[in-house]
Structure 1
Amino acid sequence: MSMTWKAAVAGSVAALVALTGCGTSGGAGGSSEGGATSLSLVGFAVPEKANKDIQAAWAKTDAGKGVTWKTSYGASGDQSRAVESGLDADYVHFSLEGDVTRLVEAGLVAEDWNAGETKGIVSQSVVALVVRKGNPKNIQGWDDIVKPGVGIVTPNPGSSGSARWNIMAAWNHVIAQGGTEAEATAFVTKFFENAVALPGSGREATTAFTSGNGDVLISYENEAILARANGEDFDYVVPDDTLLIENPGAVLKDADPKAQRWLDFVLTDEAQAIFGKDGFRPLSGEVDYDVEGANDPSNPFPEPKDLATIGEDYDGWSAVNDTFFDEENGIITKIQAETGKQ
């Protein structure tokens, strides 16, 4: 099955340029002795299963044979700060570009890490609305989640990258319909007023929802698909207007050279198909397999009517972070403070 993506997506799906600056063996995460290599992967929580599945496939190749892994998963911002502070990493897989930029500024990742055709992106999804089985509150889109009596679960943007994707998707819902900044601010204020839980990460938010909190979970589509494949009994809705989630991956400057071979593999059709089977929308856009847990396993990734991107519609994450999430003057930061949802 072939899917037609928005032009902005198509421009970022070929291949990532090989990063320079990979150091000698025995980089930040491990060592290469006698043909054995240990690599350290630090990432945000959501793609843990997909990365494990891709690691298993890579181990069957000549490049990946004999490689062992040390892994650390958690909230994207927290993981990025941990690497900046000294947590061993050969390869990082974060939710937001800014979490890699932090490591560039710290001298840990090469400045040209995102110079390739994918702009450093290794996985992608869309923002979705997860609801209780049977959708008892008839939540079909963004306007339904801000109605009185609807409890929202979403991660906290102070620590979680997925939270920022979620909130920008909610903001964009108003702007995409021709609304003003004031109207979008009012909408997101209602969003936070309805929030009943703001866990630290996307994975923790899913756990909070499946434990009985709230009526709707704002989440990655892939997180909903994976949870359903693992037996969770809920439904999910991809709104007519939503946001393309693009997750970056990068090799650190002093990484074991094998880390670059790993990144090269992550961008192959084989690895992207594994991402697809675990609920992520593959960068190629090609899906010729069923995806367990999807609303329609044979057509798992329907194209939204209006798919916004941070790069095209909001001038990139640097501008978004300054405008919306600045610790003192960000629009969302102020809304959180005013609603007491921090």
Structure 2
Amino acid sequence: MPAFRDLPTRDLRGLPVSAQGLGCLPTTSFYGRPDPERSVAAIRAALDAGVTLVDTADVQGQGAGEELLGRAIAGRRDCVVIASKFGMVRAADGAFEGLCGEPSYVRAACERSLRRLGVDHIDLYYQHWTDPAVPVEETAGAVAGLIQEGKVRHFGLSEPSAATLRRADAEHPVTAVQSEWSLWTRGIEDEVVPACRALGVGIVAYAPLGRGFLTGRIRTTDDLAPEDFRRGQPRFSPAGLAHNQLLLRRLRPVAERLGLSLAQLGLAWLHHQGPDVVPIPGTSDPAHLAENLAAASVRLDEDGLAAVARAVDVPVHGARYAPAMLAMTGN
């Protein structure tokens, strides 16, 4: 595993983090059946390499993701910026039941997350999609109370609209917005990114490699485990994957010309979107971790960025989520 102790840092509105973080979704059952020991080893390898921002959520594995992260960081709490999320409610069988931003729920969710993580505070606590039934100001106020008590250090929002971000920030400063952003998901660029920059809010890009598609390793649904949730998402349907190979065919020669893998090109492009952007690719594979981290030091010149822009100037087939889940995001 290469050493990346000189990994650049970024500032999320006063919260210093590594320029690239680690998403923990692959350590849970969303992408198939994970190997817990391999996942713990991957998180520890990321910390060894200089990653400080590690992202999870209470909905991931119905708390199992937080428990696994707690195991992985045991004895190393002082070098980790823990980000977690609340607000997405799942039934005992794992079915999504809806969203909740009620203050009492926020407090209870935080207490559960703290126990699972085995820590006394969460560094960055996001509302995981906005509950349409509860004014975001009430939810922000609840997190502000947790911050006053020392149980949370910073408040974040996951996938808010620009208007929601401004309302929440007026109640309590928002440190970071976490939204899906990659070469095939760019919806935040028109309104949310400008709103973040007007307020000084950091931007954390989740699924920066298109949930694995932009690595070039997923060609058909046969490349996905039977229980992989991506099988139910339009972009990963047989038709979606077949159509979207065009994007990879256009990106691959650009990556080869620059001496990069497809994954490195996608991450380097995000790093060049601004000093306030922190991608959080997820992996439990040590080789992929090293490959991803190397992208943080890649420098793309104007010609390289223009070549990427030309390559991705094609329509993407399929929505990023199935209709019911997309409706929950409010976007």
TM superposition score normalised by structure 2: 0.31
The structure with more helix, counted as a fraction of residues: 2
Bigger relative contact order, structure 1 or 2 (CA pairs below 8 A, ≥6 apart) = 1
